[in-house]
Structure 1
Amino acid sequence: MDFIADILMAGGAFGAALYCYVLSQRLKRFSTLEGGMGGAIAVLSSQVDEMTRALEKARGAAMVSASSLESLTERAEAVAARLELLLASMHDLPDTGGDPRAEQEAEAERRLRFVRRRSYRDEAEARA
């Protein structure tokens, strides 16, 4: 009985050794930087670093654009307030008769003269 237990124990130890050997080979292939999963992890890590740098640049550009847009918005609001004030003050002005250009155009239309020429038939009737 002890002999059978020793054989089973040796078989178990041999199986465990074989299992450990297979795991070590898989771990070597997994951790190689050239072609295995380690290489893929290294490539992904470098891509993450590049994307982080690009994100920081984009964030900086967005902050500059946001501050520029904010200053332009403030200027536009100030100009809009001035325009509203000017428009409100235009309502307080007395009506002077309108636009000077419109008055000049109306005067030019009044000066236009239409000349009617008589046709030859009208002249012949007048002589007869």
Structure 2
Amino acid sequence: MKQMGWAKSIVTRYKQQCSTSDHHQDKELQTRYYKITQDKALTEIEGIFSDKQRYEIKSISREHGEILLEAKKHAITIVVSVVPIRNFENAIDFYVSTDKWRPTGAYPQLKQEVIEAYNRLGKKITAVESSK
């Protein structure tokens, strides 16, 4: 049984995409909820990715609550989705991917990008427990 866990961790390490979701088995990659309007959340997300040396915002769709950006150094594409739950409560999810193969595996770096983004958001806006 241990070999299956080991094999799964190797396969995961070489995945070229990482995403968050409500029931993700990895607690660090579970959807986060924030007490903020969708429009203000999008503005705060723009702010945490405003470092033009590191990121380039490709498009913003306020109607759909999504931002598409690229992390320049590592050729990583990031899609941030802001999903309204109720007034002043929004879920924020990330989908992070790369086309670039890495000998040590891309997944740890993709996961770290998500964790860092959630940490930066947590310093700007109030997180809440999901009341779904």
TM-score (norm. length: structure 2): 0.17
Rg bigger for which structure? 1
Where is the strand percentage greater, Structure 1 or Structure 2?
Answer: 2
| RCO higher in structure (CA 8 A, sep ≥6) | 2
TM-score (norm. length: structure 1): 0.18
